[in-house]
Structure 1
Amino acid sequence: MDTFQAFMIRQEGEELKGNVERLTLNDLPEGDVLVQVHFSGVNYKDGLASLPQGKVVPQYPMIPGIDLSGEVVHSEHPDFKVGDLVLCTGYGLGTSHFGGFSRYARLSGDWLVHLPEGLTLREAMGIGTAGFTAAMSVDRLLHCGVTPDMGPILVTGATGGVGSFAVDMLSRAGFQVTASTGKIDKQKAWLESLGASSIIGREEIADTAPGPISKQLWAGVIDPVGGPHLNSILKSIRYGGAVALSGLTGGTSFESTVHPFILRGVQLLGIDSVYCPKAWRNRIWSNLGGDWKPERALGVGIKECTLQELPQVLQSILQGHAVGRTIVRLE
């Protein structure tokens, strides 16, 4: 192996250009483990990495791809040996450190997780950062005492990566799931196949009632969208409920009052999958290979692409056209 392919984004003046290039191992950054990448996943943050205003990459050139799975081919880390199957999500992968859209990746072994029993390398990237974030969100809701007998759970952005996996996992856990989407006409049957008991348009979340709180609708919410609608969501959470917030595709700010928190004991839970502590990270991945494995989402919601097709895929995810998950096959 003299050279290998990678999708590299370079800055040309005020613009960013992404192309498939041929690299050598000497082009890779430092790290104590070298991984032959088999699969990576396409995430919204990867799309942002391709935009000058995306503000997720401090310096170019950069190989995006914030998650990867593959086989260890060289290791100086005590926890990993040649032949180990591993995965990586988060940390600086694909933003400050060359990421998964490359046949080889050299990175810190501290970032790696052994592939859990019950998952293949392909399935791990079918889940990827999006499914991992969804599982963290479900875990936090359960930890905060939200149970199926408290009422329905709302999932916003339900046709996206985080949302679709959340629908699957929550329904498997016995929750009644209401899926919210802007693609209700085209994706209603698909969301029902994932386990959604009802589907509503995203405009139905908006609360026009006056006052700081409104009718109690949801025992909990998984929200990878963020933005102004979060105020309406908080106003409609049932007593003792919680919102797991993990995204910003709908915007970065919202207005609210203290009333949902002090009158109904509502909890707003921030979900950060990037620097999730190692012990929690390992536990979540173990769950994803076991009882939480999102079989339905993995079966019907995964598409594959090549490195050459990435520009179109990244554009689609930025425009909100993506449904389910797209993974990059590097084998």
Structure 2
Amino acid sequence: MNDNTRFHLPAIEAIADLALEARLRHKIDHKTKPQGALGQLETLALQLGLIQRTESPALHDPQMVVFAADHGIAAEGVSAYPQAVTVQMVGNMLAGGAAINVFARQHGFALQVVDAGVAAELPAHPRLQARKIAMGTNNICLEAAMSRLEAQAALMAGMQVVQALPGNVVAFGEMGIANTSPAALLLARLTGASIMDATGRGTGLDDPQLRHKQAVLARALLWHPATEPFDAVGELAALGGFEIAMMAGAMLQAASERRVVLVDGFIAGAAALVAQALAPAVRDYLVFCHRSAETGHRLLLSCLEARPLLELDLRLGEGTGALLAWPLVQSAANFLNEMASFESAGVSEK
């Protein structure tokens, strides 16, 4: 990163292991089913085994972390909701009333909310981690979203959040009014996509509001020329959000600890793009849980060569899509561990 500070990324090992992969494929192919009959679950089972370096992966103590932050670009009228909704929704999550609370309770995930940069002072709460970098980012149309040091601090805070978590599965979500704007900007800059293709309706913009948002983001992208040579931290500082940065750091740390990472929707996908730009090996640990209704998400997943588990037209965020996909992740591990083989069941193979 051409950086002389003490900021360091965690070391991440690629999961490639040809001998283990061959054993896993043999185990999967000799279950009592036609080869490939469980489709995408077979690919997922293979990924789980490679992440955990075992032919019998086990999933335990799953964790849900929601990163919350505000965005200066909200002042440009790019969201259908006022910025005050961020702090109100954080309060709703802490009170247990948000969709992510419902799904976390349903699926047995411990839930924490992290104040990455909400533009208000939040009262202490047992489920709230206070890691505020600043009172929201700057307006990207006028200046960099954050300084380089702030971007690094957010990445490191995300790493520290994960270091303190039990379990071997982590799901990440977010809350932040206007955060589809920095996500779209990062998608455009990191993949070369056009702002028109990267920008969607967010929380429900009508056609004139969408055109306004696209114009605002096009102006913001011009205001911040691409870094030469490419500098992922610099791009994150110029265009990102504190919750996106913190989530990217959390993904990097989780991968370094060989945890399974459940990736939610468009905002989490933007964090994954940043994390991959910083450490390409992180991609091996990411399970992409759904394809959202947000315009840029399909493009983002294509750029990451990711095939999501679900497509339910979700556009809520919070990590909801990640938890809805959790039973499929469990099923992939369970069939690998518990389903009979042709030999053990006395069933003839083709």
Same fold (TM over 0.5): no
| Greater fraction of residues in helix | 2
Using CA pairs under 8 Å that are at least 6 residues apart, name the structure with larger relative contact order, 1 or 2: 2
TM, length-normalised to structure 1? 0.29
| Greater fraction of residues in strand | 1
TM, length-normalised to structure 2? 0.28
